[in-house]
């Protein structure tokens, strides 16, 4: 049973969140979750219905008396935008209060996509989406932003992310700029936290309390949830997993970071660098790339070669997946999650990568097989950040 906070606003929010988690819920089911009197709960439900936050959805099954009234949240009472800002692609979604996606767009982050251009594009898309759905801007609760870190979450600033194709992405007060351009309040979190929040929302009926999210793409990102809440450190932790040392005195990626760090073995950039190094040494084993300059070799070429069963590339991906499995096992042995969600371009490059990473991780989990966490590619996958950004706005809802 949840002990209700004496603050009326917190009680309202807690009840509303419970109804959101379980549509078609009865007063009796709510009574079992909260230490409220029947009259207090009835009055609260009447208020939420009267204000439009929830609605009656029908009658439930009788347990001997009258059939109980069922309640659900009103999806059209308010709306939320979820914005993903990533290195390769960014996306924007418009969601109702049940987090159904009403509109969605995705675009490439090329060398022209500066902060100014992205903000202008977001503003244009916000107007298009609202007009298409006939939604007044006043009904929008906010824009949640899940962005590549590091960042200052409290100040709403993207600090100094690496590897953006366009210039200008250092010390960007993204929340302030978005708010000024759109007239809608914005809040910021890193993309890994947003993705984890989204995947947790998608599984809300399963009551999972401890989750780990790992994204392997251009860089490595991770997020952790304990007791159903995101875990935050003293600084933004999104990219810290990439600096996990898995080989003492091992290589560094691009001459930066820790020696022997995971990112030097299991990242898109690590694979690209390994192939480019082979080509520079005159050991080009990548078919069709004989006349290509080393720096022009990119991940798309490697994934194509992987699906064409080129042995050289298959071995590189297999080694990378094994190192990823070791990194995962290290995290799991510390955090002991129930569920690990894996995402990103590297994880999804080929089924064998995911399978190898999971297999290696399982072999190195302490207490295995008595302790067997579940591995998944997630339910939302490439939409996880945008959905999760909207979830983060919903979590801050004041009703």
Give, as one character, the DSSP assignment of residue 231.
Answer: -
Percent of the chain with pLDDT over 90: 66
Can you give the pLDDT at residue 290?
67
306-351 confidence digits (pLDDT tens): 888 888 889 999 999 999 999 999 999 999 999 999 999 999 999 9
**279 pLDDT above the threshold of 50:** yes
Domain locations in the chain as residue ranges: 8-73, 79-199+383-395, 209-377
- Point out the least confidently predicted range of 211-220, 265-274, 282-291, 384-393: 282-291
Separation CA 341–CA 392 (nearest Å): 18
Can you give the pLDDT at residue 85?
96
Q: Which of 72, 74, 84 is nearest to 29 (CA)?
A: 72
Can you give the pLDDT at residue 64?
67
Separation CA 340–CA 342 (nearest Å): 6
CB atoms within 10 A of CB 289: 17
**384 pLDDT above the threshold of 50:** yes
Question: What's the whole-model pTM score?
Answer: 0.89
pLDDT band at 281 (very low <50, low <70, confident <90, very high): confident
**270 pLDDT above the threshold of 90:** yes
CB 18 within 8 A of CB 25: yes
pLDDT band at 283 (very low <50, low <70, confident <90, very high): low
**172 pLDDT above the threshold of 70:** yes
CB 203 within 8 A of CB 219: no
For residues 286, 287, 290 and 294, what is the CA-based torsion angle, rounded to 10 degrees? Answer: -30
Spelled out in words, what is the top-level CATH class assigned to the domain 209-377?
A: alpha beta
Q: Do domains 8-73 and 79-199+383-395 have the same CATH topology?
A: no
Burial class (CB in 10 A: 0-12, 13-18, 19+), 173: middle
Q: Is the dihedral of CA 29, 30, 33, 38 positive or negative?
A: negative
**Span 143-157, average pLDDT:** 94
Q: Which residue has the tokens 């067997």?
A: 372
**5 pLDDT above the threshold of 50:** no
Can you give the pLDDT at residue 351?
92
**Span 271-291, average pLDDT:** 77
Can you give the pLDDT at residue 203?
93
Can you give the pLDDT at residue 391?
96
CB atoms within 10 A of CB 191: 27
CA 392-393-397 angle, to 5 degrees, is: 120
Task: Give me the CATH code for the 8-73 domain, please.
Answer: 1.10.10.10
pLDDT band at 4 (very low <50, low <70, confident <90, very high): very low
pLDDT band at 21 (very low <50, low <70, confident <90, very high): confident
Can you give the pLDDT at residue 296?
82
Separation CA 179–CA 187 (nearest Å): 9
Task: Using alpha carbons, list the distances in angstroms from residue 369 to 70, 213, 363, 366.
Answer: 42, 21, 9, 8
Pairing relationship of beta strands 79-85 and 140-147 according to DSSP bridges: parallel
Q: Cite the DSSP H helix spans in the chain.
A: 8-21, 27-31, 38-50, 115-133, 174-182, 191-202, 268-280, 299-307, 311-335, 351-363, 384-395
pLDDT band at 3 (very low <50, low <70, confident <90, very high): very low
54-112 confidence digits (pLDDT tens): 998 888 777 767 788 899 999 999 999 999 999 889 999 999 999 999 999 999 999 99
Could you tell me if residue 356 is left (phi over 0), alpha (psi between -120 and 50 degrees) or otherwise beta?
alpha
Burial class (CB in 10 A: 0-12, 13-18, 19+), 182: buried
Mean pLDDT, all residues of the chain = 91
Q: Which residue has the tokens 């994880």?
A: 347
CB 216 within 8 A of CB 342: yes
Pairing relationship of beta strands 186-190 and 79-85 according to DSSP bridges: unpaired
Can you give the pLDDT at residue 295?
83
Top-confidence range, 35-44, 115-124, 202-211: 115-124
What residues does 343 pair with on adjacent strands?
215
- Point out the least confidently predicted range of 1-5, 286-290, 381-385: 1-5
Can you give the pLDDT at residue 88?
86
What residues does 297 pair with on adjacent strands?
none
CB 335 within 8 A of CB 210: yes
CB environment 139-160: b (16+ within 10 A), e (fewer): ebbbbbbbbbbbbbbeebbbee
- Which of the two residues, 294 and 390, has the higher pLDDT score? 390
Can you give the pLDDT at residue 388?
97
Can you give the pLDDT at residue 87?
87
197-250 confidence digits (pLDDT tens): 999 999 988 889 999 999 998 889 999 999 999 999 888 878 889 999 999 989
Separation CA 143–CA 138 (nearest Å): 13
**12 pLDDT above the threshold of 60:** yes
Can you give the pLDDT at residue 301?
87
Contacts for 175 with CB less than 8 Å, ≥ 6 apart: 145, 156, 157, 186, 187, 188
Can you give the pLDDT at residue 66?
79
Fold of 79-199+383-395: Nucleotidyltransferase; domain 5 (3.30.420)
Separation CA 386–CA 119 (nearest Å): 16
Contacts for 363 with CB less than 8 Å, ≥ 6 apart: 325, 329
Q: Is the dihedral of CA 290, 295, 296, 299 positive or negative?
A: positive
Structure tokens at 374: 């579940």
Q: Which of 260, 271, 261 is nearest to 297 (CA)?
A: 271
């Amino acid at each position: 049973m949840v002990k209700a906070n004496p603050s009326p606003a917190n009680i309202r929010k807690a009840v509303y969140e419970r109804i959101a988690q379980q549509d078609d819920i009865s007063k009796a089911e709510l009574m079992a979750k909260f230490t409220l009197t029947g009259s207090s709960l009835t009055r609260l439900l009447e208020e939420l219905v009267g204000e439009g936050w929830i609605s009656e959805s029908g009658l439930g099954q009788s347990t001997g008396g009258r059939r109980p009234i069922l309640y659900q949240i009103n999806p059209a009472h308010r709306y939320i935008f979820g914005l993903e800002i990533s290195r390769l692609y960014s996306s924007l979604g418009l969601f109702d209060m049940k987090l159904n996606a009403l509109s969605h767009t995705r675009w490439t982050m090329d060398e022209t996509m500066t902060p100014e251009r992205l903000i202008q594009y977001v503003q244009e898309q916000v107007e298009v989406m609202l007009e298409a759905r006939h939604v007044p801007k006043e009904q929008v609760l906010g824009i949640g932003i899940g962005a590549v870190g590091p960042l200052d979450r409290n100040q709403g600033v993207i600090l100094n992310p690496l590897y953006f194709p366009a210039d200008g992405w250092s010390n960007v007060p993204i929340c302030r700029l978005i708010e000024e351009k759109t007239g809608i309040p914005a809040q910021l979190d890193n993309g890994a936290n947003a993705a984890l929040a989204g995947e947790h929302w998608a599984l809300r009926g399963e009551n999972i309390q401890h989750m780990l999210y790992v994204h392997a793409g251009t860089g490595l990102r991770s997020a952790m949830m304990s007791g159903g809440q995101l875990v935050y450190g003293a600084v933004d932790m999104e990219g810290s997993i990439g600096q996990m040392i898995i080989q003492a005195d091992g290589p560094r990626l691009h001459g930066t970071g820790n020696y022997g760090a995971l990112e030097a073995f299991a990242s898109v950039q690590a694979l690209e660098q390994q192939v480019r190094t082979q080509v520079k040494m005159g050991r080009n084993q990548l078919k069709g790339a004989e006349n290509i300059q080393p720096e022009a070799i990119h991940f798309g070429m490697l994934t194509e070669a992987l699906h064409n069963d080129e042995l050289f590339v298959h071995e590189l991906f297999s080694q990378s997946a094994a190192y990823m499995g070791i990194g995962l096992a290290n995290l799991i042995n510390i955090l002991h999650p129930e569920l690990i969600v894996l995402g990103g371009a590297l994880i999804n490059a080929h089924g064998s990568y995911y399978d190898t990473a999971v297999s290696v991780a399982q072999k190195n989990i302490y207490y295995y097989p008595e302790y067997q966490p579940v591995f998944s590619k997630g339910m939302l996958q490439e939409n996880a950040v945008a959905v999760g950004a909207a979830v983060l706005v919903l979590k801050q809802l004041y009703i």
